[in-house]
Amino acid sequence: MTIPPMPPGLPAGEETRLFAAVDLVNRAGAKSFEFGYLHEDAPIAEAGWWAQAQYKGAKLMAEHHVSPGHAAEALALRLLAGATCKCGEQVALTDAQPGCRWKLTGEGQQARWVSGCDAPSIPIEAGELGDAEALRRKVEPRMNREQRRAFERDRRRGKV
């Protein structure tokens, strides 16, 4: 995925937020990523920025943010919240949450969200990109019995 040039006058850190989100959306199997604004002649902070990712049969969106980087970061956080890491643990975005701690590392074009574990990446075939069920089938065998039971319990309760 490519990112168009950033508009002039954006706050510091915008490029980092945007590149990290695009990288995560791409690794999560999105078919496309877009961002834009709702209000044409408004100042940047009042333009109503949005970001969206298209997956197989689903569109995920974050709206009404002060900049493209903030909209993209909100989309990344939606992807990570409640997600299952490649190690089988639930993704944690703070140290206070249980699970595998994910952090934003790097700056600019080198920025990306990374897991705190050293589990190997899950190989996904081209036809499975954006397919949550295919990913679930790949992640489940990595879980131990207790983790599989908890996952099934959460899925029955609609948490996954």
- Could you tell me which residues are beta bridge partners of residue 34? 52
- Could you tell me which residues are beta bridge partners of residue 112? 105
- Local structure of residue 135 (DSSP, 8 states): H
The confidence band for 13, taking pLDDT boundaries of 50, 70 and 90, is confident
Q: Is 41 exposed, middle or buried (0-12, 13-18, 19+ CB in 10 A)?
A: exposed
Q: How far is CA 148 from CA 42, 137, 155, in A?
A: 50, 11, 10
Q: pLDDT for 82-120, tens place per residue?
A: 888 888 889 999 999 999 999 999 998 899 999 999 888
Q: In this predicted structure, what is the pLDDT of residue 128?
A: 65
Q: What are the b/e assignments for 6-38, b being 16+ CB within 10 Å?
A: eeeebeeebbbbbbbbbbbbeebbbeebebebe
Q: pLDDT for 51-73, tens place per residue?
A: 999 988 789 999 999 999 999 99
Q: In this predicted structure, what is the pLDDT of residue 4?
A: 57
Which of 28-32, 72-76, 81-85 reaches the highest mean pLDDT? 72-76
Q: In this predicted structure, what is the pLDDT of residue 51?
A: 95
CA distance 8 to 97: 37
Q: pLDDT for 120-152, tens place per residue?
A: 877 767 666 666 677 667 666 566 778 778 878
Pairing of strands 100-105, 91-92: parallel
Domain ranges of the chain: 14-156
